[in-house]
Amino acid sequence: MDRIWVLAEQHDGVPVGIVLELLTAARGFGDVVEVVTWGPSSASAVTALGQYGAAKVYDVGDIGESLPGPKLAAAMAAQISGGNGPDAILIGATHDGRDIAARLSVRLDLPVLTNVVGFDASEGGLTTEHTIFGGSMMLRAVFTGGAPGIFVIRAKAFTAQPAQATEPQSPEVVAIDVPETGASDAARVVARHGEERSGPKLDEAAVVVSGGRGLGSPDNYALIIELARLLNGAPGASRAIVDAGWVPYAFQVGQTGKTVKPMVYIACGISGATQHMVGMKAAKNIIAINKDQEAPIFTIADLGIVGDATKVIPRLIEALRARR
């Protein structure tokens, strides 16, 4: 592969985690790795992107109140149809990444290959690995549609490593234009709300303590927060209790939430829907606490406690406090 583009989503000048993972993967099979970025603080991200191997930064700049999908897809499609296209485009499976991939796919009339967790370029072409059926099966495929292939990659499929540069990398920055996007770009972001959380980040913490329906009531989620705090970990949640409004979406672990890969994952009152297990089965160690001995979570747990999480966790908290 000669040339790879990585979509570089960044917030306040900090590339999101998966961008660094994708740059690391791209260096493994691409001769030249370039990125496409956007946003008012995109210039501040250039150094970090260079450290992970970006040779060139295509910058769409500030897109104002637009959602990224229409403008980024239009800008990338214009470069590609103008002859400045890569062989492959790697896009992280974030909300904005999926929107951009979908719209770019239509503009180029090329499919998007999703749920990618691996690349293999050892035999000439590019073979991709995709997890299907909640990660129970691995599908290997080649893209036959002509360049560029558009790939949407799952978080934590690759481990981010800075490039071993002998000299400081300072990527060339090239501003690129956004063609007229018409009605497709009519949505406007009128306000942004952050859901602040303290302690280590959910997708970076060495210990994740998650709660589910088995906690019985929203009030009992306080047990999860306290146990996570005592273990210097991050609290997480199953989709069921996010949907029920017990905790914000930012806590959700699973296919539609965060993918986590901690040293220890402690699942409390979570039965283990496929949707949830996709997001946490790569944890190095799994402890499950659940009343139902038949719960699927016990089939992947290294240590399974058959018991009421609302009784076991308070004793655990008490014992941990006593050790301090």
Partner 1 sequence: MNVAVCVKQVPDTADPPALDPHDHTLVREGRLIMDDSDSYGVEMGLQLVEAGGGGEVALVSMAPNGETTGLRSALAIGAARAILVSDPVLAGSDALGTAKVLAAAIRRLGPDLVLAGTESTDGYTGTTPVQVAELLGWPSVSFAKHVEISDGLLRVQRQTEAGYDEVTCPLPAVVTVTAGVVEPRYPSFKGIMAAKSKPVEQVTVAELGLDPSEVGSAGARQQVISVEAVDARKAGEIVVDQGDAHERVISFLEQLKIL
Tell which positions 1-60 bind partner 1, by CB under 8 A: 11, 16
Stretch of 35-43, 44-52, 159-167, 255-263 lying at the interface with partner 1 (CB under 8 A): 255-263
Between 51 and 252, name the residue whose CB sits nearer to partner 1.
252
Decide if residue 87 touches partner 1 (CB under 8 A). no
Among 14, 44, 121, 139, binds partner 1 (CB under 8 A): 139
Q: Distance between CA 299 and CA 246 in Å, rounded?
A: 27
Stretch of 22-30, 40-48, 55-63, 177-185 lying at the interface with partner 1 (CB under 8 A): 177-185
As given in the structure block, the two tokens for residue 303 are 């240590």
Decide if residue 141 touches partner 1 (CB under 8 A). yes
Q: Which string of x and - marks every residue 92-131 that binds partner 1 (by CB under 8 A)? A: -xxx--xx-xxx-xxx-xxxxxxx-----------x---x
**Shortest reach from residue 57's CB to partner 1, in Å:** 22
Distances (CA, A) of 48 to 13, 57, 116, 200, 265: 9, 11, 24, 21, 30
Decide if residue 207 touches partner 1 (CB under 8 A). yes
Stretch of 22-30, 31-39, 50-58, 291-299 lying at the interface with partner 1 (CB under 8 A): 291-299
Task: Tell me which amino acid residue 36 is.
Answer: V
Among 64, 83, 122, 144, binds partner 1 (CB under 8 A): 144
Q: Are 289 and 265 in contact (CB under 8 A)?
A: no
Decide if residue 147 touches partner 1 (CB under 8 A). no
Stretch of 22-30, 33-41, 65-73, 214-222 lying at the interface with partner 1 (CB under 8 A): 65-73
Q: How far is CA 29 from the centre of its chain?
A: 21
Number of Cβ within a 10 Å radius of residue 80: 19
Residues 155-174 interacting with partner 1 (rule: CB under 8 A): none
109: nearest Cα among 81, 128, 68, 129 = 81
Task: Tell me which amino acid residue 75 is.
Answer: A
> Residues binding partner 1: what is the number (CB under 8 A)?
96
Distances (CA, A) of 266 to 9, 213, 229, 320: 30, 14, 13, 15
Q: Are 34 and 53 in contact (CB under 8 A)?
A: no
Q: Are 276 and 239 in contact (CB under 8 A)?
A: yes
Between 86 and 171, name the residue whose CB sits nearer to partner 1.
86
Residues 208-237 interacting with partner 1 (rule: CB under 8 A): 231
The number of residues in the chain equals 324
As given in the structure block, the two tokens for residue 72 are 């980024």
